[in-house]
A = this chain, B = another copy of it.
Amino acid sequence: MTDEFNTALPSIRQLQTFIKDSTEVEVKLSTSDLVIGKVRWQDANCLCVVDHYDQPTIIWKQAIVFIKPKLA
């Protein structure tokens, strides 16, 4: 279930840029849940998103449908 975790891939680099820039993102999940927050870290299996109250949600990459930067 592991994505290809090659830091040269555009998708992996895009996530690294979201982390570096503290970009607020919307993550749509396979259950149709929408998680909103900033990406704190990623690895081969997961993505950690923290909300306004600094509460972390550890998202399994297998459940991600799409991610988009939240409009200002």
In the complex this chain forms, how many copies of it are found? Answer: 6
Taken together as a complex, chains A and B put the C-alpha atoms of A30 and B11 apart, in Å, by 19
Q: How far is the CB of A41 from chain B (nearest CB, A)?
A: 6
Given the known inter-chain contacts A2-B4, A3-B2, A31-B30, please indicate yes or no for A11 contacting B45, CB distance below 8 A. yes
Taking a contact as CB atoms under 8 Å apart, the answer to whether A30 and B63 are in contact is: yes
Interface residues on chain A, number (Cβ under 8 Å): 40
Given the known inter-chain contacts A28-B31, A32-B31, A45-B9, please indicate yes or no for A14 contacting B65, CB distance below 8 A. no
**Partner pick for A4 among B45, B55, B59, B65, CB 8 A cutoff:** B45
In the complex, which residues of chain B have a beta carbon less than 8 angstroms from the beta carbon of A48?
10, 14
In the complex, which residues of chain B have a beta carbon less than 8 angstroms from the beta carbon of A4?
2, 5, 44-45
